[in-house]
Amino acid sequence: MNALRNQNSVAAELFLNQAYKLDPKSIDVLRLLGIYEVQRKDYDKALTLFKKAFKNAPKNALLASNIGNVYLEQKHFLRALEFYEKAISLDVNYAEAYSNKGNVLQELNRYPEAIVSYDQAIQLDPMDAKTYVNKGNALLESGQLTDAIQAYDDAIQLQPDHYLAYWHKSLALLLSGNLEDGFSLYESRWGNGDEFKFSGVRRGFTEKLWLGEESLQGKTILIYCEQGLGDALQFARYVELVAQLGAKVILEAPKSLNEVFSNLSGVSQIINRGNNLPEFDFYCPIISLPFAFKTNLNSIPSKSAYFKADMNKVEDWVKKLGPKTKPRIGIAWSSTSNFKNDAKRSLSLSEFLVALPDKGYEYVCLQKEIKDCDKETLASHGDIRFFGDDLQSFGDTAALIECVDLVISTCTSIPHLSASLGKETWILLSFIPDWRWLLNREDSPWYPSVKLFRQDKLNNWDGVLTRVRASLEKGIS
């Protein structure tokens, strides 16, 4: 079927190219050729075609919206907004243009305006489930969880198989603290065909997926890490619970986590991701384990520590660091992740330094990699010790963490490692953080050693940095 569709697509494009040669000013031909270029992700060529068509038809709202879509893909958000508004001015009843305008306003973190734009789109086209989902996202980022959940429910009512609506609703429920319903809906993350592209990896195993129903007594189960390193570190705590059900546990993980996971209670065998797997009876993605165990806020398996650093490596770091003359603080302010919302949770080093008193502490960078924009700042601050390539794995980082008195970090994988080692950890969070940190609390039910410092205003780190600095100036135990 796909091959036939591709053949038809090629034939259609050949026909359009012939039509273009005959009439290079044809609005419809130019627009359709532009759409083909968008599908190829050749946005510059698509923009040229759309703009040529729009020059010939300056009152065509659809073309203005097409141009806005390309600018949105290129992350030229203000230019995209300009063309969506132009499309609306040309056709005040153009629902999709209002919806697209809402999308770009979200990218600009202008959530109240985005919500207004989505409402205008819904008024014109109340049957578009996608707009309700996008509105829900804007409401969520504004901190309006109840209204966000209602928007997702509206989308589901219109389109019961809209997996993206279920998934976003799951995040809102988890953030609100409703873990049981949230983790249940989180299983929708795999989507349905091409409709929903998720960052995790669903595996095509013929063995049975285990979600807590079948007995594991005497069985072998594969647990695999499906998403980011922080997720793997956080949910590894469930492996011991699986083993207590009588299972032999094979844990497949990224190579960088192999050493940290090697002393995890309950693991029978660790396989580096990409290596051949032994036989097993069941499998379970690691982030499905909270659902399998019907986790709620009161039943989170929370230990002071469930990982241990290699003491030989700890001794090596003690020698490398030298005598300690003042309290040591491990720091991490950003990641090099491709995560879509990384900018929301990361800081530049120059911003982060505001939180660190000039005197009284020795600072140790826990990041292996530094963004280009931070390298000059780091080089000019000799009081921050940076080890870079000496951190070959998370095992090395774990050993270094054992040599500091406190870890201060934004929401990266570092605080997950630090807190799972039982180290006192302060985490700097955005106004609406990742769901696992919940809302309106300074502690975490997942990690007893964590203290949370939250933004009290959207995109405003000033209050967070001031509070961290004030806490440090009082001294640490």
- Calculate mean pLDDT across residues 313-323: 97
Characterize 18-57 residue by residue with b for buried, 16 or more Cβ atoms within 10 angstroms of its Cβ, and e for exposed: ebbeeeeebbebbbbbbbbbbeeeebebbbbbbbbbbeeb
Does the pLDDT value for residue 196 go beyond 60?
Answer: no
Q: Which fold has domain 10-190?
A: 1.25.40
Average predicted confidence (pLDDT) for the chain: 91
| Residue 7: per-residue pLDDT | 43
pLDDT band at residue 190, thresholds of 50, 70 and 90? confident
Positions of CATH 3.40.50.2000 in the chain: 208-292, 311-473
- Calculate mean pLDDT across residues 165-183: 97
As a whole number of angstroms, the distance between CA 264 and CA 81 comes to 50
Q: CA separation (Å) from 403 to 3, 157, 312, 353, 396?
A: 58, 54, 12, 21, 11
The full DSSP string for 260-284 is HHTT-TTEEEEEETTSPP---SEEE
Task: Kindly report each contact of residues 73-79 with a partner whose C-beta sits within 8 Å and lies 24 or more positions away, as own/partner.
Answer: 73/38, 73/41, 73/43, 74/43, 75/107, 77/104, 77/107, 77/108, 78/108
| Residue 8: per-residue pLDDT | 47
- Calculate mean pLDDT across residues 182-202: 69
For residue 477, with 0-12 CB atoms within 10 Å meaning exposed, 13-18 middle and 19 or more buried, which class applies? exposed
pTM above 0.85, yes or no: yes
pLDDT band at residue 194, thresholds of 50, 70 and 90? very low
Q: Out of 3.20.20.70, 3.40.50.720, 3.40.50.2000, 3.90.280.10, select the CATH number for domain 311-473.
A: 3.40.50.2000
Does the pLDDT value for residue 132 go beyond 70?
Answer: yes
Q: Which residues contact 204 (CB under 8 A, 6 or more apart)?
A: none
Does the pLDDT value for residue 341 go beyond 90?
Answer: no
- Calculate mean pLDDT across residues 426-431: 97
| Residue 203: per-residue pLDDT | 80
As a whole number of angstroms, the distance between CA 442 and CA 293 comes to 26
| Residue 377: per-residue pLDDT | 94
The CATH class, in words, for 208-292 is: alpha beta
As a whole number of angstroms, the distance between CA 19 and CA 31 comes to 12
Contact criterion met (CB below 8 Å) for 172 and 145 = yes
- Calculate mean pLDDT across residues 37-52: 92
Can you give the three-state secondary structure of 10-65, one letter per residue? HHHHHHHHHHHHHCCCCHHHHHHHHHHHHHHCCHHHHHHHHHHHHHHCCCCHHHHH
Positions of CATH 1.25.40.10 in the chain: 10-190
| Residue 15: per-residue pLDDT | 56
| Residue 5: per-residue pLDDT | 40
pLDDT, greater one: 345 or 456? 456
Share of the chain above pLDDT 70, in %: 91
pLDDT tens profile 209-263: 999 999 999 999 999 998 889 999 999 999 999 999 999 999 999 999 999 999 8
Contact criterion met (CB below 8 Å) for 233 and 416 = yes
pLDDT band at residue 280, thresholds of 50, 70 and 90? very high
| Residue 1: per-residue pLDDT | 33
- Calculate mean pLDDT across residues 32-36: 85
| Residue 195: per-residue pLDDT | 43
